[in-house]
Amino acid sequence: MAHFFKDNEDLRFYLERGIDWAPLIEELENGFQSKEVFKSVEEVVEFYRDILENVGEFAANEVAPYAAEMDRLGLEMLDGDVVLNAPFEKIFKKIKRLDLHGMCMPRELGGMNCPALMYFLVSELFARADVSVTTHLGFHGGIAVTLLQTSMSEGTTEFDPKTRALLKTRFADEIKELISGKAWGAMDLTEPNAGSDLAALRTKGEQDEAGNWFLTGQKIFLTSGSGKHHIVIARTEPNEGKTAGLAGLSLFHAPIYTEKRKKKEWLATIDRLEEKIGHHTSPTVSVTFERTPAQLIGQRGEGFRLMLLLMNHARMGVTFEGLGVCEAALRLSKEYAAERPSMGKTIDRHEMIAAYLDQMENEIIGLRAIGVTATWAEDMALAYKRACDFFTDKGSDEHKRYKRGYKKYKALARRLTPLCKYYGSERAVAHSRLAIQILGGVGYTREYGAEKLLRDALVLPIYEGTSQIQALMAMKDTLGAITKNPQAFIKRIAQARWTSLSARDPLERRVAKLQSLSLSAQQHLMQKTVASKFKSVGEKPIADWPKALKQNWDPKRDFSYAMLHAEHLIQLLINEAIAEILLDQALKHEDRREHLEVWLDRVEPECRYLLDKMHGGERILARLEAQAEQVEG
């Protein structure tokens, strides 16, 4: 019987050895104070194994066999609502029975109290079977998580400080509805004139004299947008002065229907179901709000900050969707290549095809490594934040320890999240494209499903922040850190050089060389950025930059050289980050050394090429400058 967990050695490595479960589980289980459900970390990990084994079997045997049929059937609009197809409905009925929607919710709310990491490992298993199923799944549990986290952030959730049990939370009823599978939700950012540029949002949030909030405007491209519980970002403050752009946005919870005797009464209108290249069973709709009643979440003007809580979660979700697609593309390619004869041998024994398969295998190892590490760090950060905010006294040593931990893990998660989203989605496209090539003519037909993988994968670099936006975020964070603390940057350069010469382990030396190369690239971008703004400062030592950078600085314009090369930089940062994570694994587990060796063999020449590419592009910048002058003049 097919099994997507048992047949995946790398995934099993993480459950059994690769994840530092103890500190995370200790926090989630509140130090096993109650012992009612679990008594030890080992027991909890066994429970996680049960979940992964159940889902691995379910995804392989009860989802994957229906993927082609669901893709063909698609969805339709009927009487202003979206009708899901029969196999999709059946799958979700079973998911409901398995209670998976509440995986990451506290037990007090009827959930399983798992970390987000467990949810994402499950997502990968589903995405290997059908990525639309994973996407839709995310809009049950993911929305419930958002409601709980935003409520914790605004101070409407209470815990018992002794037992750490959740006592009450603002959206308890909605959460129960979401995790029971009775309803799902959606995340409403995009508008016809505002996609990547969220500062351009026009949907309005207005308050009447009695203090009730109402939303008016149109949101488009909403995944699972026919669901009930919409989390909407809207403008509540004047788009000028201090509240211009992102600062004037607020977050709302707005149900788009109520139900009376199983009949929906609409509070907003679903005006369109998109016809897409792929993701045929994932509903993508536009919704018009016309004085739709809504509840403000948090404070006015906090919308963007709060939305980021949901978006970070969603971006990691896309990473694992990508991982599932890559895994499906690899498996399909390997099986086909092992059977298909050409010129006297099967095609997997021809050099170029063997190299493709080897590359796919190693990139999946790298992607899972960075995805798991980032999610684990985010889980640790959230657990420590909860301890800071609810369980420890300000000023106490324990509080200080949690605060330090929170900052450390949050910084790691922030650094890795755009890299994960970029790498997961871009690799999904690349691997499914390779799968079509490896299958040759039949890859281009519907027979084996390779073309469906590519059609489904193509949206991953677009939604939840495009690849270009991820590259910009990574670039701004990286260069921003250098300007804030150039001394620390210089120290990192020296440290990497020293380790690249002195480390005893040759793999450690190679990783340090890669770090050196990445730091040179960052230094080059920074120098070009500074030099283009302040011709004289560019030649000054790095330590003198902060003073100069404070003067007359326009990040939008002055970062143009770095923006041009942001995609080269993010690829370098990904190669470096994965090398660091695989080194950490290799130093603990002898059998992981080979993965790092293969990784380095592949990415070392690629990184040199990327650094080379970062020297150039002046022609495009000059053209853009001339265009800008024309517009301004």
Name the residues that contact ligand FAD, by CB under 6 A. Answer: 186-190, 195-196, 221-223, 276, 279, 284, 459, 462-463, 466, 468-469, 472
Provide, rounded to whole angstroms, the least separation between the CB of residue 257 and ligand FAD: 18
Q: Which is nearer to ligand FAD, 122 or 222 (CB)?
A: 222
Which residue, 347 or 459, is less far from ligand FAD as judged by CB? 459
Query: Nearest Cα to 461, choosing from 489, 502, 488, 428?
Result: 428
User: Using CA atoms, how far apart are residues 143 and 230, in angstroms rounded to an integer?
Assistant: 8
For 543-581, give the DSSP string. GGHHHHHTSS--HHHHTHHHHHTHHHHHHHHHHHHHHHH
State which amino acid sits at residue 373. T
Nearer to ligand FAD, 70 or 347 (CB): 70
Q: Which residue is nearest to ligand FAD (CB)?
A: 195
Nearest CB to ligand FAD, comparing residues 473 and 583: 473
Nearest distance in Å: CB 457, ligand FAD: 12
Kindly tell me the burial class for residue 523, based on how many C-beta atoms sit within 10 Å of its own C-beta (0-12, 13-18, 19 or more). middle
* In the complex, least distance from residue 281 CB atom to ligand FAD, rounded to whole angstroms: 12
Return all residues near 436 (Cβ < 8 A) that are at least 6 apart. Answer: 443, 444, 450, 451, 454
Query: How far is C-alpha 316 from the chain's CA centre?
Result: 2
Minimum Å gap between C-beta 147 and ligand FAD is: 16
Cβ distance to ligand FAD smaller for residue 348 or 456? 456
Shortest Å distance, C-beta 309 to ligand FAD: 15
**Distance separating alpha carbons of residues 204 and 193, to the nearest angstrom:** 14
Nearer to ligand FAD, 156 or 288 (CB): 288
Toward ligand FAD, which CB reaches closer, 430 or 472? 472
Distance CA 552, CA 555 (A): 10
Give the residue with the Cβ less far from ligand FAD, 127 or 517: 127
> CB under 8 Å to 267, separation ≥6 — which residues?
254, 255, 256, 257, 258, 292, 293
β 229-235/185-188 pair status = parallel
In the block, residue with structure tokens 């090398």: 579
With 0-12 CB in 10 A as exposed, 13-18 as middle and 19+ as buried, what is 134? buried
Q: For the CB of residue 276, give the shortest distance to ligand FAD in the complex, in Å.
A: 6
Minimum CB separation from ligand FAD for residue 330, in Å? 24
The C-alpha atoms of residue 114 and residue 251 are separated, in whole angstroms, by 26
Rounded CA separation 238/22 (Å): 48
Closer to ligand FAD by CB, 462 or 621: give it.
Answer: 462
Q: How far is the CB of 566 from ligand FAD (least distance, A)?
A: 8
Q: Which is nearer to ligand FAD, 193 or 258 (CB)?
A: 193
> Least distance to ligand FAD from the beta carbon of 468, Å?
3
Strand partners, 105: none
**SS (HEC) of 105-162:** CCHHHCCCCCCHHHHHHHHHHHHHHCHHHHHHHHHHHHHHHHHHHHHHHHCCEEECCC
What is the Cα–Cα distance from 307 to 187, expressed in whole angstroms? 9
- The CA angle 185-189-191, to the nearest 5 degrees, is 120
User: Residue 30 carries which DSSP code?
Assistant: G
CA 158 – CA 166 distance, rounded (Å): 6
In the block, residue with structure tokens 């979660």: 313
> Judged by CB, which is closer to ligand FAD: 178, or 330?
178
Q: Is the separation of the CB atoms in 514 and 603 below 8 Å?
A: yes
Q: Is 148 within 8 Å of 110 (Cβ atoms)?
A: no
Cβ proximity to ligand FAD: between 225 and 486 the closer is 225
Minimum CB distance to ligand FAD, residue 459 (Å): 5
Q: Which is nearer to ligand FAD, 186 or 330 (CB)?
A: 186
Rounded to a whole number of angstroms, the minimum distance from the CB of residue 477 to ligand FAD is 15
Q: CA angle 389-393-394, nearest 5°?
A: 80
Q: Cα dihedral angle (379, 383, 385, 387), rounded to 10 degrees? A: -170
Burial of 77 (0-12, 13-18, 19+ CB in 10 A): middle
Q: Considering beta carbons, is residue 166 or 189 the nearer one to ligand FAD?
A: 189
Q: What is the CA radius of gyration of the chain?
A: 25
The one-character DSSP state at 84 is P
Closest approach of Cβ 182 to ligand FAD, in Å? 20
Closest separation between CB of residue 440 and ligand FAD, Å? 29
Q: How far is the CB of 537 from ligand FAD (least distance, A)?
A: 25
